[in-house]
Amino acid sequence: MFKKNDLKMQKNFVLVTFLFIPTILISLFMIYPLINLVVISFTSWDGLSPTKTFVGLTNFKKIIFDSPEVWVSLKNNGVYFVGHLIFIPIELFIAFLLDKRVRFSKMFKTITFLPYIINTVAVACMFMFLFSSQDGVLNSMLQFFHMDKIGWLSDSEIVNYSLTGVSLWKFSGIHIILFLAAFQSLPTDMIEASIIDGASTFKQFYHIVLPNIKPVIEIVLFLNIRGALQIFDIPYVMTGGGPNHASETFTVQTINTAFQYQNFGLACAMAIVLMIIIIIFSIIQKKLFNLKG
């Protein structure tokens, strides 16, 4: 009896000590800021004044009914989302090839993953020089072939595609590595059995590999939604949201609302709206993905 209690106490002690610090950290750095975010979203706080005036749902109404620029910025986020979505099958295929199906696969794996580990600001700076209209590499190449220059970052019709290209260059590596890890965790006997049965590489991929890596695909799709809707650093560094707000994403708009236009209340409401959009899109995507059972 005494021993049983002793064990229970020890268990409780370990539980409390192990959980106390993480709980405090999560409360301090996640729960408390989240509560604060929600509270501020119902105020017209300018980020500095000691008083926070309660304005009810005004900020949310303004975002939904009276801020066309917010919806334009979401459209820009859509370009990143669609770009990455289109690229996912290509990433899958590259990962499939890199899974011991090409020579020097180890070297290619490293090359594929390298962009992801480079600092995003450095990547953005590098591409700024590639895209520049003054002595930029890409335009110089076009001129070499007697073609007209392209306003990679200056044409409001093109700028979002240029930035999506940078985002693809930077983030495709991590998707490929995730797919590759999924491929390598597959039991080899299934593939071997299919080879004996005479299945082609495509059939192996479609009937065996794909169904077995479904959870990883789901994760990559979720990462895509989250990443596309929260993209900030690439447009902020490369164009600052310009020209004339043409490449402003939702997060760039939120940051500018808070720090440039001194409206923290509205910016917090925008952050909550973004959170809700991500949740809704993820649920829709999950439902669509699982339609086939």
Partner 1 sequence: MVKKKIFKKLTLALVGATLLSTIAVGCSNANSTSTDSDKKVTLKIALWGDDEYKYMSETNKIADAYKKEHPNVTLEIEKIAPKEYDNTMKIRSSAGQLPDVFPVRQANLSLYADIMVPLNELKATENNLYAKETMIKGNVIGLPEAVFNEFVFYNKNIFQEYNLEIPKTWDEFIKVCQTIKDGKKYTPLALGLKDSWVNYPLNEYMPMLEAGDGQYYNKMASKDDPFTKGEPFYNAYTKIQKLYDAKVSGDDPLGYGWDQQRAMFVAGKAGMLAAGSWYKSDYITNGGKEENLGVFLLPTRNTTSDPFYTTAMTEFFWGVPKTSKNQKEAKEFLEWFFGDYYTQLATTTNIKPTMKGVSYNDEFFAQAFEDVDAEPVTIFYDDNYNKVMNAMKFDVKGIGQQMVAGKNSLDSIMKDLNAQWKKARGN
Q: Which stretch binds partner 1 (CB under 8 A): 100-108, 148-156, 213-221, 222-230?
A: 148-156
Among 262, 263, 182, 258, CA closest to 220: 182
Q: Is 138 in the site for partner 1 (CB under 8 A)?
A: no
Counted residue by residue, the chain has a size of: 293
Q: Is 24 in the site for partner 1 (CB under 8 A)?
A: yes
Cβ at position 139, least distance to partner 1 in Å? 8
Nearer to partner 1, 151 or 186 (CB): 151
191 and 107 Cβ atoms separated by less than 8 Å:
no
Cβ at position 155, least distance to partner 1 in Å? 8
Q: Is 143 in the site for partner 1 (CB under 8 A)?
A: no
Q: Which stretch binds partner 1 (CB under 8 A): 116-124, 154-162, 214-222, 269-277?
A: 154-162
Cβ at position 30, least distance to partner 1 in Å? 16
Q: Is 78 in the site for partner 1 (CB under 8 A)?
A: no
Q: Which stretch binds partner 1 (CB under 8 A): 81-89, 254-262, 269-277, 282-290?
A: 254-262
151: left (phi over 0), alpha (psi -120 to 50) or beta: beta
Which positions from 174 through 233 interact with partner 1, judged by CB under 8 A?
none
Query: Which of 33, 47, 187, 211 is in the footprint of partner 1 by CB under 8 A?
Result: 47
Positions that interact with partner 1 (CB under 8 A):
2, 5-6, 9-10, 12-13, 16-17, 20-21, 24, 46-50, 69, 128, 131-136, 149, 151-156, 239-240, 242-245, 256-257, 259, 261-263
